[in-house]
Structure 1
């Protein structure tokens, strides 16, 4: 018998539109036109005989049927992708470990430590990819994630690793090492903005208990890796997690002319889906990570950075 299945193209279009809640972004993701996405979803709704989206002007809202269909479809597409990868590389995805984290964390903190895990567990292939604090742990393909936040993610378990601490950093070429500055003098220098965390300067001002009513503007970069590189080259002052710039501070490429680091409201957490909580590879990585944190002793980082 012929299976009662819609086209894979229609399913891809719906999954992307539901994930972004935006036809334009779904089209960009899949390399289609917005009208192409709309047509595929209309075909899918006709096939199923039910409406998947409410359309209210430019806004999209999933119907109850659409929300349930998206949740189950995302898991099914993930599984289809997994068995396809199995066929290509000749081993089960279940034997591997997919780690999601922030781009700068993935490039600066994690690689220094991940070699130890790979050496200790050579039979567990590791894949590191990008994640966001809004990751949906009910449908995500990640086995485990390292994320900054308050520790609450739906459908997930989280373990605090260490707190985030923030500081204003500068190149000695921009602010001399021996400069005697009041913290509010930050406004006299060019500033670097974080597009991903646009309120970071205001957050630092609040943590430092500084009252400032002027404008905060400057060159904007997408994430911390770009921001740190710009600060090293003297483009401006930057508010960054000290976790990411310990080497630059140690080497003298950057310094903290406006005072010691301040603990923010967030911490870094190890997060994994509830549905995968008994996955042996997750348990191995979780325990390895916690042993490493204890061994390296993050307490000095909390106190000094």
Structure 2
């Protein structure tokens, strides 16, 4: 018998639209036009005999049927992707460990530790991918993630690894080392902004118990890796987590002219989907990471 299945194109269009809650962004993601996305979703709704979206003013909202369909479809598409990858590379995704984290953590903090893990567990292939605090752990294909937050993610378990500590740093080319500056003098220098964390300067002021009412503006960069490099080149002051810049501070590329670091309200956590609680590779990585941090 012929299977009762809608077209894969329609499923792709619906999954992207539900993920972004925006037809235009879904169209950009899939390389289609907005009208093409609308047409595919209309065809899918006609096939299912159900309404998947409705409008609430300017916002796009999933119906209850649409929300349930999206939740199950995302898992199904993830699984379909996994078995397709298995066919290409000749091994099961289940044998590997997929780790998600912030781009800067993935490039600065994680690699220096993964060598020890690979040496101890050479039979567990690793894949490192970008992940955000907004990761949906009900549908994600990640096995574990290392994320900044307050420790609460839906459909996931989390273990605190270490608190976040923030510092204002500068290049010696911008401010000579040994300069004695009042913390509020930060406003006299160009500032670097984190587009992903636009309130970092305000957070630093609050945590440092400084009263400042002026404007805070400056060149914006996408994430900490870009900001650190910009600070090293003297483009401005930056607020960054101290564990990212230990080497740069130690070798004098950056220094802290406005006082000691301050602990933020966030910490970094090991997070993994509730459904993967018994996954043996997750257990091995979790226990190894906690042991290695205790020894550090």
TM-score by length of 1: 0.96
Asked whether 1:30 is paired with 2:36, we answer: no
Mapping of residues 135-214 of structure 1, within 5 Å: 135-214=135-214
The residue matched to 1:3 in structure 2 has which SS? Answer: coil
CA distance in 2, matches of 1:164, 1:72: 35
Deviation at 1:115, TM superposition (A): 1.0
Deviations 1:160-184 (A, max 9, x none): 0000000000001101102110000
CA distance in 2, matches of 1:278, 1:183: 49
CA distance in 2, matches of 1:130, 1:24: 23
Query: What's the counterpart of residue 224 of structure 2?
Result: 224
Deviation at 1:56, TM superposition (A): 2.8
Query: What's the counterpart of residue 276 of structure 1?
Result: 276
Deviation at 1:57, TM superposition (A): 4.0
Query: What's the counterpart of residue 106 of structure 2?
Result: 106
Write out the 4+ residue segments of structure 1 that deviate beyond 6 Å after TM superposition: none
CA distance in 2, matches of 1:209, 1:151: 25
CA distance in 2, matches of 1:34, 1:149: 34
CA distance in 2, matches of 1:227, 1:44: 44
The residue matched to 2:145 in structure 1 has which SS? Answer: strand
Query: What's the counterpart of residue 59 of structure 1?
Result: 59
Asked whether 1:294 is paired with 2:264, we answer: no
Deviation at 1:55, TM superposition (A): 1.6
The residue matched to 2:72 in structure 1 has which SS? Answer: helix
Deviation at 1:58, TM superposition (A): 3.1
Deviation at 1:120, TM superposition (A): 1.2
CA distance in 2, matches of 1:123, 1:32: 41
Long gaps (5+) in structure 1 = 297-305
CA distance in 2, matches of 1:33, 1:204: 43
CA distance in 2, matches of 1:9, 1:126: 31
CA distance in 1, matches of 2:34, 2:171: 45
Deviations 1:180-229 (A, max 9, x none): 10000000000001100000000000000000000000000000000000
Query: What's the counterpart of residue 248 of structure 1?
Result: 248
CA distance in 1, matches of 2:194, 2:90: 42
Bigger shift: residues 268-277 or 35-44: 35-44
TM-score by length of 2: 0.99
Deviation at 1:246, TM superposition (A): 0.6
Deviations 1:128-179 (A, max 9, x none): 0000101000000000000000000000000000000000000011011021
The count of corresponding residues between Structure 1 and Structure 2 is 296
Query: What's the counterpart of residue 131 of structure 1?
Result: 131
Deviations 1:9-62 (A, max 9, x none): 110111111111111111111111111111111111111010001123431111
CA distance in 2, matches of 1:92, 1:180: 58
Mapping of residues 42-53 of structure 1, within 5 Å: 42-53=42-53
